[in-house]
Structure formats: C-alpha cells, structure tokens
C-alpha cells in the first residue's frame, strides 16, 4: 500500500509539472495534438499505479518524451503554416449570411442538429440572424451576428465612458499576492499603506482590488460562528 501511495504521489507531481509545461489551455480549448497527448499521459500514468511490478521510471521517461514531442511540434508549427495546418486543421465556415453551408457540415461530419445546438450555447436561436458562424480548430464555434442583431456598444451611442483599467486582486483570502501587485500600477508598500488606512487587518480581508485610476475595493471576511 505504501509503495502504491508513493508511486501515485510521484506521478501526480510529475503530471502537474508536465501539464503546466504544456501551457494553460482548458480541456475544451485543446488542439487535436494536445488532446491526444493529454489522453496518452493519463493512460501511461495509470500503468505503474495499477501494477507495482512495472518500473516507474519507464512511465516517467515516456511521459517526458510525449510532452517533449508536443513542445517541439508546437514550436515547429509556429515556424511553418503548412505543418500547423496538418496538425491543427483549418477553421471552417458553416454559416454565411444566414445560410447553412451543407458541404462544410458534411466535411466536419456534423448534422444540422449539432450546429443548432452549438448556436444555442452561444445564445443564438435564429440562424437567419447569423452573418458568419465558424467552427474553430479546437471544436468551438465563433458567431458573428448581422449588424442589426448585435448588441449596441457605447461607441454606437456616441458615449465614451472613462476607462479605469482592469481591477487587480492584490489581496486574496488574507494574503497579499506579490505577482498580481507587480502586474498592477501599485507596489507592495503602497498596497500595505492602503490596508493600514482601511483599518482592516490583512488576514481579515477576503479580497482587495485596485485599478489604474487608484480605485480600491475591499471586502472583509465574514465572521465564522
């Protein structure tokens, strides 16, 4: 039991490292080659956990080799459009000016029901309202509505509100996040001064955000009974 636990722990740490090495894509955003690598990693990692007689080093070498192949392939794809097209494919336009491209759907081996379902997930229920719908290489659909059906923006209404920039969460769950502070326009000393002036101990702060205009938002933790 102890041996199995140790082996599982080693593989767990290694797989987390390898996934981080591959990048931060979510499962739904993986390209075909990345999805294959992810599946193979799970399969190879399960072997030494199921059978203690299998040397763990064999799986570790195979895991590193697979991730190395993926990184090398991705690097090569950045330099070669043809290679990237072979590995990832091309985006496919399935709707043009409110008309479904049946040939494109057939090429993707999709039904009209599949297309309608994908559109509903984008809050689009009328095909006639769609200017373009494109299936991306990761399997997700991008939809551009016709101008008359798009949401109005501030610019459309000739309104130009002030841009306060993105709020950065510099304190989370009672802890100052150094990396986030570096990304913001503040420094650690300034953040600490704000905390002192708020008269709330940092350990009691649930979240604190700041933006480029100096706006600060602080939410205090609720007292636990």
pLDDT for position 31? 66
pLDDT for position 28? 54
All CATH 3.30.240.20 domain ranges in the chain, comma separated? 92-149, 168-220
Cα dist. 88→22, 26, 139 in Å? 16, 16, 11
Give me the residue label for tokens 């719908």.
133
| CATH of 92-149 among 3.40.50.620, 3.40.50.450, 3.30.365.10, 3.30.240.20 | 3.30.240.20
CATH no. of 168-220 = 3.30.240.20
How do the pLDDT tens digits run along the chain, 225 residues long?
576 677 777 877 887 777 777 665 555 566 667 777 778 888 888 887 777 787 888 888 888 888 888 788 778 877 877 777 777 778 899 999 999 999 999 988 899 999 999 999 999 999 999 999 999 887 889 999 999 998 888 888 888 888 888 899 999 999 999 999 998 888 899 999 999 999 999 999 999 999 988 899 999 998 754
Q: Give the tokens for residue 88.
A: 């990832």
* DSSP characters over 141-194: EEEEE-GGGSPPPTTTTT---------EEEEETTEE-HHHHHHSS--HHHHHHH
pLDDT for position 127? 94
**Which residues make Cβ contacts (< 8 Å) with residue 34, sequence separation at least 6?**
22, 25, 70
pLDDT for position 13? 80
């Amino acid at each position: 039991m102890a041996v199995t636990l140790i082996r599982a722990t080693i593989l767990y740490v290694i797989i987390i490292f390898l996934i981080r090495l591959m990048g931060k894509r979510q499962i739904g955003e993986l390209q075909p080659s990345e999805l294959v690598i992810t599946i193979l990693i799970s399969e190879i990692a399960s072997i030494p956990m199921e059978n203690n007689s299998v040397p763990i080093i064999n799986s570790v070498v195979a895991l590193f080799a697979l991730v190395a192949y993926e990184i090398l392939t991705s690097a090569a794809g950045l330099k070669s459009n043809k290679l990237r097209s072979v590995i990832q494919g091309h985006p496919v336009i399935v709707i043009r000016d409110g008309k479904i491209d049946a040939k494109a759907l057939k090429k993707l081996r999709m039904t009209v029901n599949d297309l309608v379902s994908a559109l509903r997930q984008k809050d689009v229920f009328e095909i006639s309202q769609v200017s373009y719908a494109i299936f991306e290489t990761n399997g997700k659909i991008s939809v551009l509505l016709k101008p008359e059906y798009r949401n109005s923006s501030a610019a459309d209404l000739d309104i130009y509100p002030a841009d306060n920039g993105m709020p950065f969460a510099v304190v989370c769950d009672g802890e100052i996040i150094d990396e986030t502070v570096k990304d913001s326009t503040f420094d650690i000393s300034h953040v600490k001064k704000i905390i002192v002036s708020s008269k709330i101990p940092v350990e009691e702060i649930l979240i604190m955000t700041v933006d480029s205009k100096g706006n600060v938002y602080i939410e205090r933790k609720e007292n636990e009974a």
